Amino acid sequence: MLKRLFPHPLLSVTLTIVWLMLVNKVTSGNLALGILLGIVIPVMTAPYWPNRPKLRAPLMAAEYALVVLWDIIVANIVVAGIVMFKRNADIHSQWVVVPLELTSPEAITVLAGTITMTPGTVSATLSADGGSLLVHCLHTDDPDGIRDDIKTRYERRLKEIFR
C-alpha cells in the first residue's frame, strides 16, 4: 500500500523541493501543493520506473558529489588550457575501455555521467551487455592511468552507494 502510494520516496521528496523552487515562495499552500504533486506524479509515472533502486550510504553520496564537483572545476581549467593553447597536433586523443563492476543501471548511468562531466573524458558507449564502458580521452599519454583513476575515484564510491 505504502509502496503504491510512494513508489519512489526519494523522487517524491525531490519533486516537492523542486516545486518549492519553482514557485519560489514557501507558503503553506505551495507546500501542500508540492507534497500533493510529489505524491501524485510518482504514482502516475511509476509504471515507467518499475524497480526501486537501492540507495545506501547517504554520506558517501555527499562525499561523491563534492569529489565530482571539485574534479569538474579543476579539470575544466586543465582542459581549457588544452583547448585554448595546445596545438591540435599535440593533442593526443585516445579510447579507453573501462571494465565495469557496477551492474545497477542507475549506478552505471551516474558513473558514465560523471566521466562525461569531468573534463578530458567522454563516455561514448557501453558494451552490449553493459559490462564495460568505452571512454574517449581528449588528451592523455597514459590511458591505463585514466582507467584506474575512474575505477578508484568514482566506481568504488558508487559501488558503496548503490550496493
Produce one character per residue of 98-133: b if its CB has 16 or more CB atoms within 10 Å, e if not. bebebebeebbebbbebbebbbbbebeebeeeeeeb
Q: Count residues binding Na ion (CB under 5 A).
A: 5
In the stretch 16-55, what mask flags binding to another protein with x, by CB under 8 A?
Answer: --xxxxxxx--xxx--x----x---xx-xx-xxxx-----
**Residue listed under C-alpha cell 557496477:** 102
CB-nearest residue to Na ion: 121
Which uninterrupted H or E stretch holds 97? strand 94-99
60 versus 124: smaller Cβ distance to another protein: 124
d(CA 101, CA 98): 10
Among 80, 142, 145, 163, binds another protein (CB under 8 A): 80
In sequence order, which residues have a C-beta less than 8 Å from that of residue 63 and are 6 or more positions away?
157
Q: Is 93 a binder of another protein (CB under 8 A)?
A: yes
Stretch that binds Na ion, among 8-16, 92-100, 110-118, 145-153 (CB under 5 A): 110-118
114 versus 157: smaller Cβ distance to another protein: 114
Which uninterrupted H or E stretch holds 37? helix 28-45
115, 63 contact by CB (below 8 A): no
Report the interface residues with another protein, using CB under 8 A. Answer: 11, 14-15, 18-24, 27-29, 32, 37, 41-42, 44-45, 47-50, 72-73, 76, 79-80, 83-84, 88, 91, 93, 95-97, 99-100, 102-106, 108-109, 112-120, 122-132, 134, 136, 138
